[in-house]
């Protein structure tokens, strides 16, 4: 009986174990690696929303600047400019139902008078949080706003 027990114990010591959780050789490094990869994934996934938000804000500012230059040349805000703004924002991937465009200086505005243009866009800002050992998706709805002013460059004869 003792020889059989010694043979079984010798046999167990010589066999490699299959599970890295039960293996004493480098199991701590594997668990640590998985934990670090989990944290890195969380950081990388959460970086997409701020980068996307800033790119959209940059596009919104540029469209506002182009539209304001057009307003300077035409002497105020018109339906033409509203349609141009919506078309350009649509090209950049903005949802048209979330865009608000308004100006308190409709056409015609006299040479040297102030013209204003405001564009607002409500975006979906997605981020992920680690809560109760699970990823949870959190969606915020920040409003991007671009307001610019300039002066009319058109002289209207009275």
Res 121 pLDDT > 90: yes
What are the domain boundaries of the chain?
27-151
Residue 50 sits at the vertex; the CA angle it makes with 46 and 51, to the nearest 5 degrees, is: 105
Prediction pTM value? 0.69
> Dihedral of CA 42/93/140/118: which sign?
positive
The whole-angstrom separation of Cα 73 and Cα 151 is 10
Q: Which helix (H) or strand (E) holds 44?
A: helix 27-74
Residue-wise pLDDT for 27-66, tens only, equals 678 788 888 888 888 788 778 888 889 999 999 999 999 9
């Amino acid at each position: 009986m003792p020889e059989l027990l010694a043979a079984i114990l010798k046999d167990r010591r010589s066999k490699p174990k299959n599970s890295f959780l039960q293996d004493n050789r480098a199991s701590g490094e594997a668990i640590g690696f998985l934990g670090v990869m989990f944290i890195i994934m969380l950081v990388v996934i959460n970086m997409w929303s701020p980068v996307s938000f800033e790119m959209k804000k940059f596009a919104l500012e540029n469209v506002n600047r182009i539209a304001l230059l057009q307003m300077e040349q035409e002497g105020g805000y018109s339906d033409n400019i509203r349609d141009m703004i919506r078309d350009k924002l649509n090209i950049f991937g903005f949802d048209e139902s979330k865009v608000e465009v308004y100006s308190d200086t409709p056409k015609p505005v006299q040479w040297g008078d102030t013209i204003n243009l405001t564009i607002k866009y409500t975006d979906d800002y997605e981020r992920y949080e680690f809560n109760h050992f699970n990823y949870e998706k959190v969606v915020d709805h920040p409003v991007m706003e671009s307001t610019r002013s300039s002066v009319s460059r058109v002289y209207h004869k009275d």
